[in-house]
Structure 1
């Protein structure tokens, strides 16, 4: 019996629905976990690794289930889907707090217990439904259904930040996802009914036995072709948000393009995949050469170029994976190995690289690995030109290498001397031509890529690593720069300045950057004794270089909350001396500030400053109504709450204005525009208080003209259950590439 078109549409709809739900629940459950776990990047890394492990488990389940008769498969799968439905609606499991030092095990356990059963079963939909589809001898090739699967994944991923998060609370999201899960069960049941009487597992097993055996070499190649795009997707995200353009939501774009690449790579019609693979080669030599650049850019071009490169390379490598696919009878094994490769790529980028490297070196490594795995294109094979003697091949290869070396050297001179980038781009054209000429020889491609990377800025990145200027933790990549001409030492996290200290003895203990004497924080801390007396109790969320410590006065009690031990080490080893020299008796609490502040006694602080942003990312769990409740509890009745909202891409003033209105707080804002020549930086600080008299005292002491009303509130208060930064993105800044 030949399947009708409606039956094919049924399988496509089932796979689309499962994949959509899979990538909708990933950000949803991680978003739920933020208030409990804190805003550390470890949470997101752990979440991604848990998802990849569960995906691998789902593919293994589908592979093993596929050995049974189809009717038995349907009974088991539908039964397990029904049992897993008992864990709905989606929510966090109840686990006791982790023991100190066991957080790395506790976080995966929490996520696994919370979402594990349904995630594993839903992740099995793509390979299992393809196997059911192919069980009918007249159904045709099932591989295009994998393209439909990734189209569903892409849609789910994009739908969360654009639709689900802005429009629905977490509670509503959970119930909506549960309804979608019920729809999926119904679709799976219809697929099972559509395949009544189709080929049983023994027939499929016989076909598998008849298929040629898969060599170990091919399995390793499958693993590599799956691992490199997976790792490159994560490394591109790290590279962009750390060193080029720290825009919030940017992580969605690489992951979305990675998923979209499967749609083209696994399509039945190969024309688009071949064209994109052809374009991947020149993109590799141009944009791939920027993979070692570690200094931020004010233009949007490097960002666009990087994500285009990722997409083209993923299509090329996934297209080669498709070309190496086995017989249909070995479909689930193929997807199982693909999933294992994805896990390996994720492990390397998310777990191994932060421990092994001081910078995002995994990114250029994966770009080079991609160059080694790229399918060679006949269109760039000049050996096929008519009349070209084989004896001239060696001479032409040598000439191409000389051209690449010469052009790379010219680019190096331009970058080193701060010359015109347009001139460098012209020389880059020669590198591209040379690279295409040697594209049939992978060792030569590697050589040209290394020269181009080094010339475009890799020499600066390498020098900083060799000089020990950079350190890395799970929380970020930090670089300490000395500027002898300006007599300054700076602490930079990615593209964001986190503090600076003068090396001039007379100015060494002066707070600079966002914390100068005319900043909102500077005014509040300087006048704390005037408002609260000589024994003021002051708290700071986010240590940075420790600049605020030098507002410390005798008799005051200071407490700093810092999530990253590496940041604290910069103050302890006197890389920055603010803390040791100005407030040696200050208490430093390591951990997520919201969690730690919830443990302090009520009325602990007279003044509390929240300055915990990492680059331009927004720790939403520190700005929700529940977080404001934690701060209020920790503050004295006349206490002042300072929140630093300087940001290149997000306007947070309406968020705080709405929070203030909700809680009956008074709020004022200080927009400081100091002289940059003195080492100060523009900043925006909001001050909130339950006591209008405390705000009036601050304004009186610092000059009322320096403060303004906070302005119009947002339509909705951020809560742990419902918050979205999308309405507050300043798109003119994002698109303009403003620094």
Structure 2
């Protein structure tokens, strides 16, 4: 039993280190790159790409080198990786606002963690190949070790947000990870010696096909598709949830953990799952995913919708990975199988992080992947023929008639209702042709695609950048800008032209932000800084003689705000004010000598929380850019998080005066006057002026909790 125990422990430890380092290094780099959901999808692209390299290295070394040479080479690479410990951001690295963010993210991960991760990524197929050469029991089928590998990965992923992150800071976590990487060297040595002692030739692996039968291109394409779908779906679900809840390790980890759990349950001799048993659940899951990604349930997804997304994704991953396991090759092609499988996963990352932001002007990759996923249920009998295609096209064209009637005869412009019409029409044509699945699929696809192009989305502008999706739309009264799923600026249609528009929503004249900017604090301020541009609503509170500067990480936001065809706050109130591009904290840190009388932190996009802009170190940066009698404002309106708690803790430690206002809004009288929440900090009570005695601004005491730092922050602790 010694040999299987050693190999199982080795692959378990390696997988734990492999997947523990992903959220760990992402947490380390967040203060440098920012907390956009795309940071994680780009990081996943890096990890998946390196995984291909690791699997390819494993494939080539097991094919062309003897066992002893493999062991010696791999231990040498392990020793080289020790030079990159402990993990950290390379000295001198800085963010460049004029360079592709995706490229900078990939380079940063490559330089910081590339070599250790590359060594770890090769271990899963390499250790299985070594075990096939050992004298251990079940050496004829080492695929069971892949289940142990994914179990280790799952344990590590769950341990990071649930144990490590709440209890320890990134520095101590990194030190523990380095110790584990050192211990791995010993396990690799013992495993390698067991493999060398067992002989030089691998035993035949029991698999679905002949061990030495050549792999066909058709089979490789099938493996790629089965690996692509769950990978892309995982990232699409993660992006959607991160946009609504925040870009934090826990949100990244949950879909990835389920992704790995699906491997544990499917890559096993025990029939935890079967393709037949999963088939109907898979169809239901695709329906749920299609409904949510199409926006029928609304732009913003609540907790029930998120639960539906996660469960549906898990079913998709189970189905696809079980199909992968059932189509696994024999031992002669074991490492090739893992190379192809990793390539399929990386293609999912490439599609979601690089191709989708360029190809689509919205978060469309989830819907596209759902359509691709439907091809997995097509059997040979379901594949279309010319006859079935003609029938599907004809019925599909008939199926769009109800939509055309709703649009052009009845004049319906309710987008959710029109989407329901499309979904109902697609379901009807599919049921009508249920005896010929290929015809049904073609007809339903025609209806769905036609609907996506014909239904008006009400957008004056729709675009996408690395940092999120942007949309400008309007109703009969207001024009609004939406970033992600949250409205970030509104202007009355009646106030376009040369007039000075009234700031609305969070920036309404009755709200807390306006109270400060129009008080004696605002009247005497000479310099004002605003982190987070939006549509520039606050600019119309600028007074003559004041010097304002904005800070914005996304150039698309600046383009929208400064285009008078969309909004006129900037053009009519502060067209000459500069915008500093890049992560505001990093830019402010470099602006030595600059001091503001009012500094506004208004960068909490959608309901995400940029933790690196909320930490104790961030507050110290802001104070360095604040005059002695200056005021620091945090706009923290949020659906889910009590961001005032960590702010109050840091304020107390720094000896600051803290006030908060929970403004109830006045939408009953003015639809542009909505609730908001603002925290105000200063070094003295005198700096607050008349607001110090304003009953709407109440003291904000600390709850005594742990201070958030760049090393430690626990977003779950501030859930409301």
The TM tier, using the shorter chain, reads 0.7 to 0.9
Matching of residues 362-373 of structure 1 within 5 Å: 362-373=365-376
Q: Which moved more, 1:60-69 or 1:493-502?
A: 60-69
What's the secondary structure of 1:691's corresponding residue? coil
Q: Which of 658, 661, 680 is equivalent to 1:667?
A: 658
CA contact (8 A) 1:471 1:479 kept: yes
Partner of 2:684: 691
Q: Say if 2:587 is the partner of 1:623.
A: no
Q: Which of 553, 573, 584 is equivalent to 2:575?
A: 584
- Give the whole-Å Cα distance in 1 for the aligned partners of 2:247 and 2:535: 23
Matching of residues 426-505 of structure 1 within 5 Å: 434=431, 437=434, 441-442=437-438, 444-448=440-444, 451=447, 458=452, 463-464=456-457, 468-484=460-476, 487-505=477-495
- Give the whole-Å Cα distance in 2 for the aligned partners of 1:617 and 1:219: 39
Closer, same or farther: CA 10–212 of 1 in aligned 2, 3 Å = same
Closer, same or farther: CA 371–410 of 1 in aligned 2, 3 Å = farther
Partner of 2:278: 276
Q: Say if 2:186 is the partner of 1:186.
A: yes
Q: Say if 2:300 is the partner of 1:307.
A: no
Shift of 1:219: 1.5
Closer, same or farther: CA 277–328 of 1 in aligned 2, 3 Å = farther
Partner of 2:385: none
Q: Which moved more, 1:648-657 or 1:532-541?
A: 532-541
Deviations 1:103-142 (A, max 9, x none): 5544433321211111111111111111112224752322
CA contact (8 A) 1:285 1:449 kept: no
CA contact (8 A) 2:631 2:687 kept: yes
Closer, same or farther: CA 368–395 of 1 in aligned 2, 3 Å = closer
CA contact (8 A) 2:554 2:581 kept: yes
Shift of 1:340: 1.2
Partner of 1:509: 501
Partner of 2:57: 61
CA contact (8 A) 2:430 2:440 kept: no
CA contact (8 A) 2:391 2:439 kept: no
- Give the whole-Å Cα distance in 1 for the aligned partners of 2:390 and 2:114: 59
Partner of 2:133: 135
- Give the whole-Å Cα distance in 2 for the aligned partners of 1:308 and 1:47: 24
Closer, same or farther: CA 345–203 of 1 in aligned 2, 3 Å = same
- Give the whole-Å Cα distance in 1 for the aligned partners of 2:521 and 2:413: 52
Partner of 1:570: 560
Q: Which moved more, 1:270-279 or 1:656-665?
A: 270-279
CA contact (8 A) 2:282 2:316 kept: yes
Shift of 1:285: 3.4
Q: Say if 2:32 is the partner of 1:36.
A: yes
CA contact (8 A) 1:317 1:375 kept: no
- Give the whole-Å Cα distance in 1 for the aligned partners of 2:330 and 2:60: 17
Q: Say if 2:87 is the partner of 1:119.
A: no
Deviations 1:459-499 (A, max 9, x none): 78x5228x553111111111111111xx1111111221101
Shift of 1:27: 1.4
Shift of 1:278: 3.7
- Give the whole-Å Cα distance in 2 for the aligned partners of 1:712 and 1:256: 35
CA contact (8 A) 1:656 1:713 kept: no
Partner of 1:266: 267
Shift of 1:539: 0.7
Deviations 1:358-395 (A, max 9, x none): 112222211111111236499xx9xxxxxxxxxxx999
Q: Say if 2:605 is the partner of 1:608.
A: no
Closer, same or farther: CA 58–519 of 1 in aligned 2, 3 Å = same
Closer, same or farther: CA 324–442 of 1 in aligned 2, 3 Å = farther
- Give the whole-Å Cα distance in 2 for the aligned partners of 1:707 and 1:414: 49
Matching of residues 288-307 of structure 1 within 5 Å: 288-293=290-295, 295-297=298-300, 299-307=302-310
Deviations 1:697-728 (A, max 9, x none): 4335xxx1111011333521111111121211
Shift of 1:452: 5.9
- Give the whole-Å Cα distance in 1 for the aligned partners of 2:285 and 2:33: 40
Matching of residues 309-348 of structure 1 within 5 Å: 309-348=312-351
- Give the whole-Å Cα distance in 1 for the aligned partners of 2:697 and 2:95: 44
Shift of 1:154: 2.2
CA contact (8 A) 1:46 1:108 kept: yes
Task: Tell me the matched-pair count.
Answer: 700
Deviations 1:568-603 (A, max 9, x none): 111221111111111223222121111111122335
Shift of 1:222: 1.6
Q: Which of 74, 81, 86 is equivalent to 2:83?
A: 86
Q: Say if 2:3 is the partner of 1:7.
A: yes
Deviations 1:311-339 (A, max 9, x none): 22222222222222111121111101111
- Give the whole-Å Cα distance in 2 for the aligned partners of 1:237 and 1:360: 12
Closer, same or farther: CA 173–442 of 1 in aligned 2, 3 Å = farther
Partner of 1:549: 539
Matching of residues 713-724 of structure 1 within 5 Å: 713-724=703-714
Q: Which of 678, 694, 697 is equivalent to 1:707?
A: 697
What's the secondary structure of 1:469's corresponding residue? strand
- Give the whole-Å Cα distance in 1 for the aligned partners of 2:449 and 2:7: 46
Shift of 1:220: 2.0
- Give the whole-Å Cα distance in 1 for the aligned partners of 2:535 and 2:448: 35
Partner of 2:13: 17
Deviations 1:155-189 (A, max 9, x none): 22222222211111111011111122123223223
- Give the whole-Å Cα distance in 2 for the aligned partners of 1:615 and 1:147: 38
- Give the whole-Å Cα distance in 2 for the aligned partners of 1:435 and 1:280: 21
Q: Which moved more, 1:146-155 or 1:54-63?
A: 146-155
What's the secondary structure of 2:141's corresponding residue? coil
What's the secondary structure of 1:48's corresponding residue? helix
Question: Which TM-score applies when normalising by structure 2?
Answer: 0.88
Closer, same or farther: CA 279–41 of 1 in aligned 2, 3 Å = closer
Deviations 1:592-623 (A, max 9, x none): 11111112233520000000112111111111
- Give the whole-Å Cα distance in 1 for the aligned partners of 2:335 and 2:73: 17
